[in-house]
A and B are shown apart, each in its own frame.
Chain A
């Protein structure tokens, strides 16, 4: 029998906090064979990324391995000296980090950063040779015009291109093992598919083993040979992908599989036909008529180029319904949301709220309108002020609009915490003490503070893992049924649309290419672009969401 490439045995990792050690990995053991793709799945905080960081010897802060062993091709990594580890990193273990937006240095060109990796791994010597090798690395990562792009900076690259550059850097030295930590979680489905296809072809050509860390069960099922399910620092289940997803044994895995939305899932809180008919006759609350948004992009000197972000978009949302805007990054979804929220002004066209045109509203009227319309943004880490307590954050809209006394505002913030199923004690705490899911609940509570009837959810569940995502989607559905809210739901995840929306508009390059009810679009897509989006959903054929294939 062949020896495994990577052997992890009884790995325990702890973080020092004062004089105490807090153990976060409790005896993790697994093997990885050469050329194998292994996925570690689990919710946020389950220890996936810590396991990967321990393997590559880059545990953050006070993290350290307290027990166990990690051997790569027979070499022990837990006792390896710093110089040895530096030699192993890059050459033997490649690493593709999670967030392409923040893992490239914004002040250095892409070329400089690739050359740095080439030099550090000793892949080439001499200025010209290093340059040529860096170009080759980027070309292999799928950037066709690499020589020209070498001089560009990260902000001039799209998310997909940045991730390709990071994959190029990770694979530059032909490592035996590539650790990809949520490599595509920030990307939309079609770019995700292209990137993962490319990664798969590169690694299969070279026989590289891939340790894929993800919270997306569909993606793990599609791409990995085996899956390891982690919960609270322990492996709860491991086995071949298809078996884990079709016959999960452990209750936690069963919960994960049931919570993962898929194309076969049903709308949360689906209404009966009679109720449906009632809702169909509901009056239109939000209407967009031929919306156009054009930006001027400076192209050096006094010159500027016109860029059409939204091109003749029309839609309407009846009261108490959810309209999902879906499409790839850059298709204009968020621009539509900003125009609805009056954060951007349409170049042409009109937004009507309850039949009243917003373009003719004065500042005072727009301010009043904002009481009725509230946003929940994608990133709960970025949308909550870290210097304000949770109670203060939730009552801020009441303060801005001058509603109630300080005591009344505080009372309302406690009521809202109850409404989003968070304990009242959190009112005195700060955002950094909360998990991503809890923060997103706080963002929702803040959006509900003014009792709005329209909520704009801009990728509000995209950054969350399946269990938290499922909780938030149920919460939104309950609130909609209770308070009759109207949602504009913006997402690139069509599986989420399936469970959360009634109507859907598919956007491509600023235009709506198809719109209708979720059922009609998902069962019979008319446009090639919609079909491509649906096909790109990872794990479309897998039995997720508690539904058989």
Chain B
């Protein structure tokens, strides 16, 4: 467990794009149906040869829709964009804004665009001539929650540095899946 994850104790709020988890659940169910179907109609070996492809799709959905997220923690903000993880202690955060996605300005001059957080949406049409006025309500609430967490953060001295890392478990999973796929291709060509 990384330090930023260990500090994400009680009170941490995770913010994700709407529908990411739901899409993963649907894709998982679909992959299971396909693989079980392959095992039943052919055999388990064939199902294992086919398995890396739906699993690669699932990996993609997981990385984009579930792993990519913003989390407001007691001591800082944790942002994962695809495979890149950044943890910025609150004193290092200058501003939190909503542009197309949540954007966090850090004190080293960099801007962190949160691909995984709630994004700006077009006004939702409810019917002819009627639109939902607060289409960006979720995004506004997310920004307010991050700002609230920053405002309530305790002062620490010295201020820890900003940490940037890769999502190693996801990378390892990808390598395993790619290797599995390569082996499956080689076996089917023999």
Please give the residue numbers on chain A whose beta carbons come within 8 Å of chain B beta carbons, in ascending order: 345, 347-348, 357, 359-363, 365
Contacts and interface: CB of A to CB of B under 8 A. Distances in A.
Interface string B128-145: 000000100100110011
Contacts of B147: 357, 359-360
Contact of A363 (B97, B137, B148, B151): B137
A362 B98 CA distance: 14
Main secondary structure of the interface of A (DSSP, over half): mixed
22 contacts: A345-B98, A345-B140, A347-B97, A348-B95, A357-B147, A357-B151, A359-B144, A359-B147, A360-B144, A360-B147, A360-B148, A360-B151, A361-B144, A362-B141, A362-B144, A362-B145, A363-B134, A363-B137, A363-B140, A363-B141, A363-B144, A365-B144
Contacts of B140: 345, 363
A348 B145 CA distance: 17
Interface string B102-143: 000000000000000000000000000000001001001100
Contacts of A365: 144
B130 to A, nearest CB: 15
Contacts of A357: 147, 151
Contacts of B98: 345
A361 B141 CA distance: 8
B57 to A, nearest CB: 32
Nearest to B97: A347
Main secondary structure of the interface of B (DSSP, over half): helix
Contacts of A360: 144, 147-148, 151
Interface of B: 95, 97-98, 134, 137, 140-141, 144-145, 147-148, 151
Nearest to A367: B134
Contacts of A361: 144
Contacts, number: 22
A360 to B, nearest CB: 4
The 6 residue pairs across chains A and B that have the minimum distance between CB atoms: A360-B148, A360-B147, A362-B141, A363-B137, A362-B144, A359-B147
Nearest to A348: B95
A369 to B, nearest CB: 12
A357 to B, nearest CB: 7
A348 B95 CA distance: 8
A347 B96 CA distance: 10
Nearest to B140: A363
Nearest to A347: B97
B118 to A, nearest CB: 12
Contacts of A359: 144, 147
B40 to A, nearest CB: 49
Contacts of A348: 95
Contacts of A362: 141, 144-145
Contacts of B137: 363
Contacts of A345: 98, 140
Nearest to B138: A363
A359 B95 CA distance: 11
Nearest to B146: A360
Given A345-B98, A363-B134, A363-B140, 16 more contacts: A345-B140, A347-B97, A348-B95, A357-B147, A357-B151, A359-B147, A360-B144, A360-B147, A361-B144, A362-B141, A362-B144, A362-B145, A363-B137, A363-B141, A363-B144, A365-B144
B37 to A, nearest CB: 45
B129 to A, nearest CB: 14
A363 B140 CA distance: 7
A499 B47 CA distance: 85
A365 B140 CA distance: 12
A15 to B, nearest CB: 35
Contacts of B148: 360
B141 to A, nearest CB: 5
Nearest to A358: B144
B30 to A, nearest CB: 35
A141 to B, nearest CB: 41
A345 B95 CA distance: 14
A348 B97 CA distance: 9
B74 to A, nearest CB: 15
A360 B140 CA distance: 10
Contacts of B145: 362
Contacts of B144: 359-363, 365
Contacts of B134: 363
Contacts of B151: 357, 360
A360 B148 CA distance: 5
A170 B44 CA distance: 89
A385 B44 CA distance: 69
